Amino acid sequence: MIVSGLTLFTGTSKRAIYFLTRILHQKSLILVWQSFYLQMYHMLAQELQEHWVTWLLNMPFEDK
């Protein structure tokens, strides 16, 4: 069986494009998850800050 250079190049190019799209897709998924976790971290930090501010404002102080 004789394989021409053009057929070999086309097959290699298709595989390269396939793997490139897979890598780009995985990178975009990672960016989406990073963004999601950053938003969750920010929301939790805001809730904790509100909790501590409320706790400090309601804390009884002793007059001496």
Candidates 4, 6, 24, 2; CA nearest to 14 is 6
Residue 46 lies in a domain: yes
CA–CA separation, 52 vs 24, rounded Å?
A: 42
Domain count, the chain: 1
In tens, the pLDDT along 16-53 reads: 888 889 999 999 999 999 999 999 999 999 998 888 88
Residue 63 lies in a domain: no
Residue 22 lies in a domain: yes
Residue 64 lies in a domain: no
Can you give the residue range of the structural domain that contains 22? 1-57
* pLDDT bracket for residue 64 (50, 70, 90): low
Residue 29 lies in a domain: yes
